[in-house]
Amino acid sequence: MILDDIVEKVKIRVQNDKAEISETSMMAAARSAAGHLPPFAFEHALAAGDIGFICEVKKASPSKGVIAEDFPYVQIAKDYEKSGAACISVLTEPDFFQGRDSYLTEIKDAVHIPVIRKDFVIDAYQIYQAKVLGADAVLLICAILDTETLRRYLQICDSLGLSALVEAHNEEEVASAVRAGARLIGVNNRNLKDFTVDIHNSIRLRQLVPSDLVFVAESGIRTAEDIAELRNAHVNGVLIGETLMRVSDKTRMLNTLRGTRVKICGLRREADVDMVNELQPDYIGFVFAKSKRQVTDEQAMCFKKRLDPSITAVGVFVNDTVEHIAALCNSKTIDMVQLHGDEDAAYIARLRSMTDCPILQAVRVKGEEDIASGSVSTADFILLDTFHQEQYGGTGQSFDTELIPEGYRPYFLAGGITAETVSDAIRDLRPFAVDVSSSVETDGYKDYEKVKEFIKKVRETK
């Protein structure tokens, strides 16, 4: 079996590494590095919010051979981060995957999201080594480690602040991972005997993993339909390699896999909240700026208490004070901030120092220079909307979407989107989310049937 061949090569590699740097020296270096990174960042990134994407940097594999002849690994990792990946997986195994330890170190220095060293751990030395290389997590494979060894390796990981993705292939291995005390369990959908792949392996084995543990599906994930199935099975994260490595526009592919999200903006009645609780968009917007849809802080707080907690409440502001916005964030009245005025990088930095809420910055698009400014915004996300000389809020008009370049950062698309046009917009642009308000209203109020049809069109678009 190929796994046995890999393990034999790893044994030789570990012996050579120990000859170069002793186990005692490696352990000391790892413990010295233990305080330099946030502890357990990898699992925390996957435990928060919607299904998280672990995007893999991989040059080759035993089953597929060379996947990427051109292999700008650092740029690939940066593209993943820009595209909204939760974490990055870096193959460091050299003999079968053409990986290198230096790939991980260089990538970790270039990105700000957690990185896992994907290798074949057969010796505690490799765990300490991973910490020294800069990894936030390691892979521990049940097929090559018994329960007691897993338990011992997990204790070492905990002592270093490393997350451990414990990989299983079947019921027995899942049981071993749980008994060993794993907090993060991955199920590989690839059959190690014949290399066939079936994502339903993850779905079937998900039921055997306690709901309070983080669960990751690995291998063979290729379509938005696959992601939808895994999301419905309460999978926390997906590890995707070949599907991403074989495409040039990784942002577009990630958005295709993830599925475009929906924001319904301008809620101002209890009936609006009841409506979205039933129809389940991903985001809703409370407008605090002067507008016919403006709500007070007190109204927003009441609405938020009524809102399904799975829906993200976005507060929309125009040149407001950071103190006011931070107060609304810290009181949990809103979960996310949308800036729709002249707020600059210094304003965003000051707001970030006062709250942990993600920040969405609106860019009013008149020409290519506006698109370019959005690409360097320090906000977590940007919203592309139509430019209007006298208006800060949404215009209900569309802009020239051909100005958006290939590989552009994840963005919310607004401006003139309707139930009739949203499917084409998603297929052509693959935005992270679509934002709508006036086109789902009748006489200035949210219309149940229009909101329902809009969300239905988004969910159905592949």
Which residues are identified as catalytic?
A: 56, 58, 118, 167, 188, 218-219
Residue 185 to residue 214: CA distance in whole angstroms: 6
CA atoms within 13 A on the CB side of 128: 18
Task: Measure Cα distances from 192 to 9, 26, 32, 41, 230 in Å.
Answer: 17, 32, 37, 29, 21
Q: Write down the residue that tokens 């069109």 correspond to.
A: 457
Cα(58)–Cα(68) distance, integer angstroms: 8
Q: In terms of C-beta distances under 8 Å and separation of at least 24 residues, what long-range contacts does 99-107 make, across chains too?
A: 99/58, 99/59, 101/129, 101/133, 103/57, 103/73, 104/130, 104/133, 104/134, 104/135, 105/133, 105/134, 106/73, 106/74, 107/57, 107/73, 107/74, 107/77
Structure tokens at 31: 């413990």
Report how far apart, in Å, the C-alpha atoms of 230 and of each of 173, 224, 308, 431, 461 are. Answer: 20, 10, 22, 21, 18
- Which of 374, 357, 458 shows the shortest CA–CA distance to 410? 374
Say if residues 329 and 297 touch (Cβ distance below 8 Å).
no
| The two structure tokens encoding residue 453 | 């049809």
